[in-house]
Amino acid sequence: MQWLGVRHTFEIIAMRPADRLEMFNRLRAANPNPTTELNYTTPFELLVSVVLSAQATDVGVNKATARLYPIANTPETIFALGEEGLIPYINTIGLFRSKAKHLIGLCAMLIEKHNSQVPSDRTSLEALPGVGRKTANVILNTIFKQPTMAVDTHIFRLGNRTGLAPGKTVLDVEKKLLKNIPKAFLIDAHHWLILHGRYVCQARKPKCHECIINDLCEYSGK
């Protein structure tokens, strides 16, 4: 079995409940106030940044929005740029043309249907152009403090590798994370897991020797 660049064949063993609790106690102790690495000052800025982050790095998105947000950081001002006016600010990011189209449509819908405010419910969020389940989960969790789990490649890999939430699909892993993570940790869990997956539990060369949950992890390749 191969999980996202991990070239080891192994049987996934589910992590024990006591180990899950200890895992999150350690992650919280190491980083009591985790947050996204995307730069933003308003819910709308975060929404735009998350839409831009698809198949792009947070660093790349932050560089683009550092140019964009001083000029346009509301639905009205970005909509006024239009697709061609927006592209020069985001053309260093992958899929910038389709993202520009989505963002202009997103701004139009926010203005027309939501009084230019970012909605706080999943149905409304996922109806916006360029917004899928993962993006909606990020907004619901980070802005509205709802216990959601935005499963990206890092969290998918970590959930399977550690045994925290084994699953064959993104939705499988999301549902198991929501079930397996102790409730006291659910609000911040998304940020702890994505940071741990990004910097420690990496795809090809996981830094198991640096990992604070090494002894709890079920990964057979460590």
Residue 6 sits at φ, ψ, to 5 deg, of: -95, 110
Q: pLDDT band at 5, cuts 50/70/90?
A: very low
What does R_g of the chain's alpha carbons equal in angstroms? 18
Give Dmax over CA atoms of the chain in angstroms: 54
Residues annotated as catalytic (active site), given as ranges? 134, 152
Question: pLDDT (tens digit, 9 = 90+) per residue, 15-36?
Answer: 999 999 999 999 999 999 999 9
User: How much is the average pLDDT of 145-159?
Assistant: 96
For residue 195, give both structure tokens. 């940071």
Q: How confident is the model at residue 221, as a pLDDT?
A: 80
E strand or H helix that includes residue 189: helix 186-199
pTM: predicted TM-score of the whole model, two decimal places:
0.90
Q: Go through the domains of the chain in sequence order and give each one's CATH number.
A: 17-35+147-216 (1.10.1670.10), 43-142 (1.10.340.30)
Contacts of 193 (CB under 8 A, 6+ apart): 154, 155, 158, 159, 177
Instruction: Please give the Cα distance from 188 to 66 (Å, whole number).
Output: 26
Evaluate the CA torsion angle 86, 195, 164, 182 in order and state its sign.
negative
